[in-house]
């Protein structure tokens, strides 16, 4: 029972990471499109997108590594 709770928590961490990664990619793409159209890009939007991609990918990998540890310890 305790192990199922741990697995569910780590899957949730992984899903949150994927969502943040998706938001970051969308922000990066939209700021690049904006830069192509206007010639000036919104640097803060691009930076926020990069930060979200980094945080999302790190969070996703943390969840994945924890799940791997749980399944390998069996």
Cα(37)–Cα(34) distance, integer angstroms: 5
Buried-state track 7-38, b at ≥16 Cβ within 10 A, e below 16? eeebeebbeebeebbebbeebbeebeeeeeee
Q: What is the pLDDT of residue 55?
A: 92
Say how many domains are in the chain.
1
Residue 43 included in any domain? yes
Q: What is the pLDDT of residue 74?
A: 67
Residue 46 included in any domain? yes
Residue 74 included in any domain? no
* Count helices and strands in the chain by DSSP H and E runs: 2, 0
Q: What is the pLDDT of residue 4?
A: 86
Contact 63, 11 (CB under 8 A): yes
Residue 73 included in any domain? no
> Which residue range is the domain that position 54 belongs to?
2-68
Mean pLDDT for back-to-back runs of 10 residues, the chain (74 residues) = 84 90 88 80 80 90 87 79
Residue 45 included in any domain? yes
């Amino acid at each position: 029972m305790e192990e199922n709770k741990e697995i569910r928590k780590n899957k949730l961490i992984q899903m949150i990471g994927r969502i943040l990664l998706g938001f970051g990619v969308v922000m990066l793409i939209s700021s690049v499109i904006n830069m192509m159209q206007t010639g000036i890009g919104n640097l803060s939007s691009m930076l926020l997108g990069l930060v979200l991609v980094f945080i999302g990918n790190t969070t996703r990998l943390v969840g994945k590594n924890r799940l791997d540890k749980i399944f390998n310890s069996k």
